[in-house]
Structure 1
Amino acid sequence: MKNSPVASRPAWIIRNAMTLATVAIILLYALFIQWVWGWETVISLWAAAGWGSALLAMLLLLATYVLRTWRIYDYFPRETGGHFGVLLRLVQVHNLLNIMLPFRTGEASFPLLMKREFGLPLARGTAALFVMRLFDLHALLAAAGTGLALQDGRPWAWALWLVFLLLPAAAFGMRRHALSMLTRLLPRKAQALLHEVEAGLPADASAFMRAWGATLINWFTKIAVLAWVLGLLGHLPVAASFGGALGGELSSVLPVHAPAGVGTYPAGITAGALAFGADTAKPALDALAQAAVNTHLLVIVSSLAGTALSLFAARRRVRG
């Protein structure tokens, strides 16, 4: 007995769920930007800064998404091998959900999507995501610290920055001793969680160096691009530009993070720039606020563009 078209429709929806979700998110973001700011406003704001600068910033941010995907591709070579395009789409959907949903609830989509697309166990996907987020936080702070070291310029500032930069390598070298000690100290139920965290660590020193290196390059590039845009649009000193870029990115991981970062991301940029020495005079604050909104729009539009482009790169994974 042949399946009717109506009966096969749910199966088609299930098979193409991620593509349909991606398209829906893209449309929602486009409508969201039109509702909050209007695309005419976005275009006019960037026209004043120069389309060449806008295009370069966009391309560099898109490159960070590809590098972020490669990190996961290399982290799970057996599961994701030969399906970089599908993984790129998955990473972009995960990134958009993180931006759209408050309280960082979009993070839950990563292990679920990895389970659905590549059969990765939920516990391992969650543990690996936790480890990679620790990498991300360290690299984000190290990238922002570059601005402070550049502003100070003295050798001791660069020495402190270098010590902080190398902390993950030292921690990875001592991981077995630290895990053994924690296993003895923690209760039995917590030990199970600790074993999952251990399973999410890179398998060896070579895998660690690749993951760590990709993370540093990714975040140094992103923070540098955002700092450059803030300096270009807001006429900020180097340290304040880096502080603003750091403040905006850190605001997205706080519990008060609004959907799509509306209000909270520009506020984080402003707070970070002021903490790193931005001018507090009214004309300078007005310019900073304008630059913060424009930079936030750049992040949103680049995420939107990356997700749209990932649809063309993805090929359906066929399981054996």
Structure 2
Amino acid sequence: MTLGTVSIILVYAAFIQWVWGWQSVVSLWSSAGWGSAAIALVLLLGTYVLRTWRIYDYFPAETGGHFGTLLRLVQVHNLLNIMLPFRTGEASFPLLMKREFGLGVARGTAALFVMRLFDLHALLAAAGTGLALQTGKLWAWALWLAFLILPAIAFALRGQAFRLAAKVLPDKAKKLLDEVEAGLPLDAKAFARAWGATLINWFTKIAVLAWVLGLLGGLSTAASFGGALGGELSSVLPVHAPAGVGTYPAGITAGAIAFGAGTAGLPLAELGQAAVNTHLLVIISSLVGTALSLLVARPTRDRG
């Protein structure tokens, strides 16, 4: 798998060189300002810290006093998700939590599933902000607000929903249902913290990526947010290539075009180069975050 990943990355790099030339692609930052690149990188690194805090708060008994170790775990998990195809890196989370903190694999998997539902909702809500801003209509903001509060409504009605599902589903599926319920936050306060951290994390990330796309590609607000959504959806859904090469920039391009970006000539070429640069920024932030997390991690307590 490692050899295949490296081969795909090398072919992708050669393709970019053939189409535009890496000097032309990277030079976009010269006109935009390398200071902007540094700010974007710092903000993306901040989202990793917030993501770690969400898990730290989710499992206080297991992770208490070991934030640095958890930060390393989250960064390794994130890097594996980026580098491995078809979301196979997700399997590392419950296994790493078991090894480092003694958390049961079933509970870790259930909690990851719930957090991924949070992530998908927040990702769509963050991207919807750009569409609402572009539309500027009251009905658009009303629809966005209704979508934004869906998780709170679902959590309030979780008891009735699980009881109904238990009646409808076959007996073999009830064990899975119990695991999903165990992966939910313990109470309303825990839910509010997890939900709030998720929204802040994804709104920040989508806003940063949209800002970078607008800066490098000259896109409108809606097209920038659409491009950011497209890129992140390509990595969240089980269709991305190793390291996201090809699929992440293609997702950005498709999302931006769907939200009004130009589809031919120079605008499309500029969008393609901006998409490649944004993808590189995401990869670099993950690598830098992983390297920094190794400096702050410390051994977990002995679990015998």
Aligned to 1:103: 86
Q: Return the alpha-carbon distance in structure 1 between the equivalents of residues 238 and 47 of structure 2.
A: 25
Q: Distance in 1 between matches of 2:302 and 2:150?
A: 40
Task: Please tell me whether the aligned partners of residues 12 and 245 of structure 2 are also in contact (alpha carbons under 8 angstroms).
Answer: no
Aligned position for 1:272: 255
2:282 alignment partner, one of 284, 293, 299: 299
| C-alpha displacement of 1:33 | 8.0
Question: Aligned partner of 2:195: which letter?
Answer: W
Alignment match, 1:153: 136
SS in 1 for 2:236: coil
- Paired with 2:159 and 2:144, the residues of 1 have a C-alpha distance of 26
Alignment CA distance shift 1:293-1:35 (3 Å): closer
One-letter code aligned to 1:227: A
Which amino acid is 2:47 matched to? T
Does residue 71 of structure 1 match 2:54?
A: yes
Residue in 1 that maps onto 2:299: 316
State yes or no: 1:83 paired with 2:79.
no
Distance 1:33 1:83 in 2: 38
CA contact (8 A) 2:85 2:242 kept: yes
RMSD, matched Cα: 2.1
- The equivalent residue for 2:188 is 205
Which blocks of at least 5 consecutive residues in structure 1 are unaligned? 1-23
**In 2, are the aligned partners of 1:83 and 1:317 still within 8 Å (CA)?**
yes
The residue matched to 2:232 in structure 1 has which SS? helix
Q: Is the CA contact 2:26–2:277 (under 8 Å) kept in the aligned structure 1?
A: no
When the two structures are aligned, how many residues end up with a matched partner? 293
Find the counterpart in structure 2 of residue 223 from structure 1: 206
Q: Distance in 2 between matches of 1:246 and 1:33?
A: 26
Would you say the 8 A contact 1:103–1:253 is kept in 2?
no
Counterpart pick for 1:232 among 194, 215, 222: 215
Report the counterpart of residue 123 of structure 2 in structure 1.
140
Partners of 2:204 and 2:82 lie apart in 1 by 19
* Residue in structure 1 matched with residue 30 of structure 2 by the alignment: 47
Of 103, 112, 116, 2:99 maps to: 116
Q: After superposition, what is the alpha-carbon deviation per residue over 1:144-200, rounded to whole angstroms, capped at 9, x for unaligned?
A: 000110011111110110000000000000000000000111111100000000000
- Report the Cα offset of residue 244 of structure 1: 0.1
Once the two structures are superposed, residues 275-298 of structure 1 have per-residue CA deviations (whole angstroms, 9 ceiling, x without a partner) of 001122311000000000000000
Identity level (%): 77
1:112-144: CA deviation from partner (whole Å, max 9, x where unpaired): 000000000000000000000000000000000
Q: CA deviation at 1:273?
A: 0.2
Alpha-carbon distance in 2 for matches of 1:154, 1:302: 36
Which residue of structure 2 aligns with residue 186 of structure 1?
169
Residue 57 (1) aligns with residue 40 (2)? yes
Q: Is the 8 A contact 1:114 1:125 kept in 2?
A: yes
- Tell me the SS of whatever aligns to 1:257: coil
Deviations 1:21-69 (A, max 9, x none): xxx9xxx99xx6899379x847644333211100000000000000000
Deviations 1:250-274 (A, max 9, x none): 0113333100000000000000000
Matches within 5 A, 1:285-296: 285-296=268-279
